């Protein structure tokens, strides 16, 4: 939850953090299901980043308790500022951080 208190006046607080994705494409053949065609961690290489209408305040993140699910175990230990903004960017390339097929 973020209760917005003030607009961001200094754009340097919106420093771009890396965006990391897990790319996974399984093989469907019965004898190859444990060997995915693609299974790697990649980082987006963005450009032309645009941020509009950024507001900041203190943030709080809570995750629901769900019996039989691990989501509750993933709850953050601490949370800093919360930011709400509209953002757009272009990704033409990915940097492979780790190939998990090996």
pLDDT, tens digit, 9 for 90 and up, residues 21-65:
999 999 999 999 889 999 999 999 999 989 899 998 887 788 888
Is 68 a residue whose pLDDT tops 90?
no
Q: Which among 85, 74, 78, 87 has a CA at the least distance from the CA of 59?
A: 78
**Domain enclosing residue 39, as ranges:** 6-99
> What percent of the chain clears pLDDT 70, i.e. is strictly above it?
98
Q: Does residue 1 belong to any structural domain of this protein?
A: no
**Residue 11 backbone class (left: φ over 0; alpha: ψ -120 to 50; beta: rest):** alpha
* pLDDT value at residue 1: 63
- Any idea what the CATH number is for the domain that residue 25 is in? 2.40.400.10
Mean residue pLDDT of the chain comes to 87
- The total number of structural domains that make up the chain: 1
**pTM to 2 decimal places:** 0.61
Is 82 a residue whose pLDDT tops 90?
no
């Amino acid at each position: 939850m973020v209760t917005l208190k003030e607009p961001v006046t200094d754009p340097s607080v919106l420093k771009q953090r890396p965006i990391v994705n897990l790319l996974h494409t399984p093989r469907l053949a019965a004898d190859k299901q444990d060997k995915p065609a693609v299974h790697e961690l990649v980082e987006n290489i963005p450009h032309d980043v645009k941020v509009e209408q950024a507001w900041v305040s203190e943030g709080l993140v809570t995750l629901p308790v769900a019996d039989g699910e691990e989501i509750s175990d993933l709850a953050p230990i601490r949370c800093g500022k919360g930011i709400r903004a509209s953002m757009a960017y272009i990704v033409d390339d990915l940097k492979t951080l780790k190939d998990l097929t090996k």
